Structure 1
Amino acid sequence: MRMKGFSWGVLWLFLCAGGLEFAFASTFSDKGFSLSGEVKYKELKYFDYVNPEAPKGGAIKRYEIGGFDTLNAFALKGTPADGLELLYDTLTVHSEDEPFSEYGLVAERIQRAKDNSFVIFHLNKNARFHDGNPITAFDVEFSFNTLIGTGNPAIKRYYEDVKEVVVVDKYTVKFNFSNKENRELPLILGQLRILPKHFYENRPFGENPLEIPLGSGPYRILSFETGKEIVYERVKDYWAQKHPTRLGYFNFDRVAYEYYKDETVALEAFKAGAYDFRQESAAKTWALGYEGEPLKKKQIIKEEIAHSLPSGMQGYFFNTRRDLFKDIRVREALSYAFDFEWSNKNLFFGQYTRTKSFFDNSELASFGTPSPQEREWLTPFKEQLPEGIFDQPFTLPTTKGDGNIRPQLKRAQQLLKEAGYEIKNKKLIHTTTGQPFVFELLLLSPAMERVALPFKRNLATLGIEMKIRTIDLTQYINRLREFDYDMIVGVIGQSLSPGNEQRYYWHSSSKDERGSKNYAGIDHPAVDRLVEMVVNAKDRRELVDYTRALDRVLLWNHYVIPHFHNRTFRVAHWNRFSRPNISPLYGLGFWTWWVDPQKEEELLKARPALKRR
């Protein structure tokens, strides 16, 4: 898509030879920017997984569990409302059918130094905030410095290799890097959400958490009721509505999020037509929970949409800050008490695959024994690593799924004995301290209790008492921020291009950083070294090799008892929507859906009560 005499210049990369050069500052190209150097769209008109002719209009209501008490998506304090990302544009837009490629939005061109010591973004002069003010380099500078200063460790760590931001002129901004080896920095800076400097000049950022923020994105906040509902409306004069990265996106006139206290109530509300769309995470609910007349008559649609995303890691995370879980033998022993095969058969209707890697379902996952390169990287840490890591594949305990796990528990007992524990009066006692083995599993979702109970029973056979405690969202977030737990069901998502965020997950520098996602409290020199190697990988091959080595060390140290994953998105929705024929490989692509007028009409004829908007 082009305007007269102007190319959108979707994101041009020019590697400067020597110092900074502007020899091609007025040259536009329709190339994107990829970490691997190759992009799919040489001249982007729109993404393959959108319908550029999708009609605008209608409304959708989604749901969330819990509540919210802030409209500030960036501060560490409080629980933000869902959907706030819809308010903000970014310098670049990520393609959902490429591993890690970005195309310019607020930035129409990018220049990077050959030695990767800086990156320069040239801004699109058409970019506007909702009040009509242009987005300038001063806003980018303000956004970066403000977000770094919020105290949120996730943001600070994400951008820690950026030395400074410098305004070159009104529409040109430069970022200087402290780490030239981090090739990902231009891409992650492209994801920076732009805040309006003029809006916050006379009001401290975050001082009033419920003040409606000014944005530049496709939606603005229409109304909200704290903790109960937030409603967004599509910005009709959105500056980028015809931009190639936005064509086919954001088709609903209104988007609402309604909050419920628990999943059971939320599901019944969905079946009654209170809201439109669910992405299901519970296998039992997916198998049995949607039965009824609307499903039989195809007024409610259930579908599984395949994807190629890495699984990430869901599992029982040990808090190794606790003395109880410092011994690797103890952590490994407890892994023998989790009977995935039985749970999958009896609880999950056979829907899940056991997660065997922190990067499962991708080429990043470790397998077999270490490659020669991996052995070279691991050898300096030989004294701090489990012996088996060098010559054995990592394996998880497996069972026949019949409930008989005596061989697994026998192995667990052996490990616990080696760690200094013995059974007395059917309780596991430490031989030195005399303390019984008792700990608490902290949960957010009551649905996870049914998964935890068989694990609890198996642990009881070993003489271990696991207390299960389920708390509300606010308490849960606060306790996670303070690492106030023994064990949690943690979730760490992964992309196809891991980078800076790995420091926030595993690096020792995040171990005691309030609010980090180093849930396990990992402090290991090999992990630290491999995280930095991942961050500073020079090409895709290095990235894959380094990530596999990191994965191997994390697995062998038993920081987590891995759960399971599903290689599809399970979605249920009232039959008023259509979506593009092609689904993106690496995402659900929800914001490419639209209200189909014909389906809407048919649905409302059959169920007039659904006309509630």
Structure 2
Amino acid sequence: MISRRHLLATLGMAPFAGAFSLPRAWAQAAGLHGIAMHGDLKYPPGFPRFDFVRADAPKGGELRQGVLGSFDSLNPFIVLGDPAAGSGSIYDTLTLQAQDEPFSEYGLLAEAIEVAPDRSFVAYELRKEARFHDGTPVTADDVVFSFETLKTKGHPFYRSYYANVAKVETAGTTGVRFTFDTTGNRELPLIMGQLAVLPRHYWEGRDFTRPSLDVPLGNGPYRIGTVEAGRSLTLERVADYWGAALNVNVGRNNFARLRYDYFRDETANLEAFKAGALDVRIERVARVWATAYDFPAVRDGKVLKLELPDETPAGMQAFVLNTRKPLLRDARVRRALGLAFDFEWSNKALFYGAYTRTQSFFANSELAASGEPGPAELALLEPFRDRLPPEVFGPAWTAPVSDGSGQDRKLLVEAKKLLAEAGGKVVDKKLVAPDGTPFTLEFLMDDVTFERVTTPFIANLGLLGITAAIRTVDPPQYVDRVNNFDFDIVVGTFPQSLSPGNEQREFWGSLAADEKGSRNLIGIKDPVVDALIDKVIFAEDRAALVAACRALDRVLCWGYFVVPQWHITVDRIAVWDRFGRPETKPRYAAGFPDTWWYDDAKAAALKG
């Protein structure tokens, strides 16, 4: 439950005026300094700083990072174009999430937060000192403009994310309230706090929907400095940033400059790091981590290989099967494809045993289904028993385990049986669908990273009579095809938080299935899934949320919508040893680069 201990009087603030005057029965919920989705806030009113920062962290220096691909836009909020890395960092939000709590938000642009007990609305009082980079005050009109612009002109994601907001209104220049079309959605007040506030006076007269390299106006700790189209972008810390002294910002945003350099491929990126042209590299490829960091700077201790524990849910990374395609509509076919992927061989031969097979859409968290469904899960699932596979009501789904040979005969025989049950027939060693259509599949990719994983998978599909191939296209074409669901199979990720909510509609909801650019890449349109998503969103407490997520997890897993891949429970970061970081790492984040800083002494030692 949201903490209601911290009352308006505790903060020494006056209640909202005008349209936001509340009945006395609501007074205890007014003027909070922060809100939590479930449970109490960790930090009390007036807290000096977060526990995971160094209060006196030095300010200055530059951090250089590598990015793959290119960019043609500085607007990260729209579906068109390829936005530059870091381009969203110039905006402040109404609230800021604490990285050491499951889901709590504390006031950033907002000085005080007001939540109705039934979650029918959330209201914010803006800090009067909040400013855009041109010195213009941040007002309630800017908040309304930002919300309406993102919902009507932004990426389709925002339309589903804000679907339950019925009305937004202002009270004076600093009060704003979002009224919802339903009650009980515990996440929605926190979601609204994550709204990036854009300057209305800047965007009036400009086309928000078109990609542009015009430098936009922000209000956050950084502004966009040097832009080399498609090649690099540099963010510069704002010297007179309005919120530098706020408790939520103490010890954060320490670098004077954040530079993002673009590379065509990972090889060039890695070589630039090894040569010292980049400062840090977040490594995502186990083979590279195991074999490519044996160079002099590592052996001499000038480059550190860090493995920082990651306690956040792993979510799902997988081969995503597009059920809009006729050949992939049958669950038996999708299950057969999964049997042909030999994770055990890949982990041994390609990944140096670094990964764990993903068994859940909420992997690495208490939200993942396990064992038999408990009473709370059964209560959610029983009304739909006649519309669900019987397996949903038994043990949780587990991935097939191969013999590690790369071509497990037992699993492939099982896959052939499933394809035959689905009406597939082998003609001249080629599988054809019941209507005679040749069974062909295309794996769409935008880089070569996954080719070494996909090629053995394709070989096994060939043994089943399935003709499959990899199609690698440039990033803009890849984005366009994925946005239009023009693919058979892609490698996709569905990240999860410790407090899932409205984003589940974007991942699996029926309305998102037909919304171009949505994250429902699978194309799920199932009333049962929609109902379980609502149980997640409207969970009244943590126990109800866990049960709803586990029930949803069972339905998704037994639907065989993806071929799960793998995850790891650490963040692998290679860094030149010229930086400092706090002794305490935030529990649910790496803390990079948010709380790190440039260390002059270490930098001088490297040069020596």
Farther off after superposition, 37-46 or 475-484: 37-46
Alignment RMSD, CA only?
A: 2.3
Q: Give the Å deviation of 1:555.
A: 0.1
Alignment-mate amino acid for residue 163 of structure 1: A
Instruction: State the distance in 2 between where 1:460 and 1:93 align.
Output: 50
Cα 1:445–1:436 shift into 2, 3 Å: same
Residue aligning to 2:491: 489
Deviations 1:142-186 (A, max 9, x none): 111111111421011111110111011111111111121212111
Cα 1:26–1:410 shift into 2, 3 Å: closer
Deviations 1:590-609 (A, max 9, x none): 1101111111001122xxxx
Residue aligning to 2:449: 447
1:437 to 436, 439, 442: 439
Alignment-mate amino acid for residue 231 of structure 2: K
Instruction: State the distance in 2 between where 1:80 and 1:413 align.
Output: 44
Residue aligning to 1:506: 508
Residue aligning to 1:479: 481
Residue 353 (1) aligns with residue 352 (2): no
2:365 to 362, 368, 377: 362
Q: Tell me if structure 1 keeps the 8 A contact 2:80–2:209.
A: no
Q: Tell me if structure 2 keeps the 8 A contact 1:106–1:123.
A: yes
Residue aligning to 2:166: 163
Q: Give the Å deviation of 1:39.
A: 1.0
Cα 1:503–1:28 shift into 2, 3 Å: closer
Residue aligning to 2:5: none
Instruction: State the distance in 2 between where 1:248 and 1:451 align.
Output: 41
Cα 1:20–1:73 shift into 2, 3 Å: same
Alignment of 1:291-440 (within 5 A): 291-430=294-433, 432-440=434-442
Cα 1:237–1:370 shift into 2, 3 Å: same
Q: Give the Å deviation of 1:299.
A: 1.4
Residue aligning to 1:209: 212
Q: Give the Å deviation of 1:201.
A: 2.8
Residue aligning to 2:4: none
Residue 78 (1) aligns with residue 86 (2): no
Instruction: State the distance in 2 between where 1:565 and 1:252 align.
Output: 31
Deviations 1:212-240 (A, max 9, x none): 11111000011101111111100011111
Helix, strand or coil at the partner of 2:153: coil
Farther off after superposition, 435-444 or 246-255: 435-444
Instruction: State the distance in 2 between where 1:466 and 1:292 align.
Output: 38
Q: Tell me if structure 1 keeps the 8 A contact 2:315–2:363.
A: yes
Helix, strand or coil at the partner of 2:449: helix
Farther off after superposition, 224-233 or 400-409: 400-409
Q: Tell me if structure 2 keeps the 8 A contact 1:94–1:101.
A: yes
Alignment-mate amino acid for residue 514 of structure 2: D
Residue aligning to 1:545: 547
Q: Give the Å deviation of 1:464.
A: 1.2
| TM superposition score normalised by structure 1 | 0.94
Instruction: State the distance in 2 between where 1:45 and 1:355 align.
Output: 40
Alignment of 1:228-239 (within 5 A): 228-239=231-242
Identity of aligned residues (%): 47
Alignment of 1:454-465 (within 5 A): 454-465=456-467
Q: Tell me if structure 2 keeps the 8 A contact 1:116–1:180.
A: yes
Residue aligning to 2:44: 42
Instruction: State the distance in 2 between where 1:100 and 1:117 align.
Output: 19
Q: Tell me if structure 2 keeps the 8 A contact 1:504–1:510.
A: yes
Q: Give the Å deviation of 1:23.
A: 10
Q: Tell me if structure 2 keeps the 8 A contact 1:337–1:459.
A: yes
Residue aligning to 1:193: 196
Instruction: State the distance in 2 between where 1:99 and 1:12 align.
Output: 30
Q: Give the Å deviation of 1:21.
A: 4.1
Residue 32 (1) aligns with residue 34 (2): yes
Q: Tell me if structure 2 keeps the 8 A contact 1:368–1:392.
A: yes
Cα 1:144–1:78 shift into 2, 3 Å: same
Q: Give the Å deviation of 1:436.
A: 2.2
Farther off after superposition, 149-158 or 66-75: 149-158
Instruction: State the distance in 2 between where 1:304 and 1:9 align.
Output: 40
Q: Give the Å deviation of 1:25.
A: 8.9
Instruction: State the distance in 2 between where 1:596 and 1:378 align.
Output: 55
Q: Tell me if structure 2 keeps the 8 A contact 1:67–1:259.
A: yes
Cα 1:26–1:319 shift into 2, 3 Å: closer
Helix, strand or coil at the partner of 2:287: helix
Instruction: State the distance in 1 between where 2:472 and 2:190 align.
Output: 39
Helix, strand or coil at the partner of 2:549: helix
Cα 1:110–1:274 shift into 2, 3 Å: same
Q: Give the Å deviation of 1:126.
A: 1.2
Q: Tell me if structure 1 keeps the 8 A contact 2:15–2:21.
A: no
Q: Tell me if structure 2 keeps the 8 A contact 1:301–1:573.
A: yes
Instruction: State the distance in 2 between where 1:367 and 1:11 align.
Output: 47
Instruction: State the distance in 2 between where 1:7 and 1:236 align.
Output: 34
Residue aligning to 1:611: none
Helix, strand or coil at the partner of 1:50: coil
Aligned length: 596
Cα 1:11–1:275 shift into 2, 3 Å: farther
Q: Tell me if structure 2 keeps the 8 A contact 1:369–1:389.
A: no
Helix, strand or coil at the partner of 1:215: coil
Q: Tell me if structure 2 keeps the 8 A contact 1:10–1:30.
A: no
| TM superposition score normalised by structure 2 | 0.94
Q: Tell me if structure 2 keeps the 8 A contact 1:10–1:31.
A: no
Instruction: State the distance in 2 between where 1:493 and 1:480 align.
Output: 17
Instruction: State the distance in 2 between where 1:404 and 1:433 align.
Output: 29
Q: Give the Å deviation of 1:461.
A: 1.2
Q: Tell me if structure 2 keeps the 8 A contact 1:9–1:28.
A: no
Residue 567 (1) aligns with residue 574 (2): no
Farther off after superposition, 56-65 or 204-213: 204-213
Q: Tell me if structure 2 keeps the 8 A contact 1:281–1:570.
A: yes
Cα 1:173–1:299 shift into 2, 3 Å: same
Residue 517 (1) aligns with residue 516 (2): no
Instruction: State the distance in 2 between where 1:522 and 1:297 align.
Output: 52
Cα 1:30–1:391 shift into 2, 3 Å: closer
Q: Tell me if structure 2 keeps the 8 A contact 1:341–1:398.
A: yes
Residue 68 (1) aligns with residue 51 (2): no
Alignment-mate amino acid for residue 413 of structure 1: K
Residue aligning to 2:266: 263
Helix, strand or coil at the partner of 1:592: coil
Q: Give the Å deviation of 1:20.
A: 2.2
Alignment-mate amino acid for residue 474 of structure 2: D
Instruction: State the distance in 2 between where 1:369 and 1:26 align.
Output: 41
Deviations 1:47-95 (A, max 9, x none): 1111111100100111111111111111111111110221001110000
1:57 to 60, 68, 74: 60
Residue aligning to 1:610: none
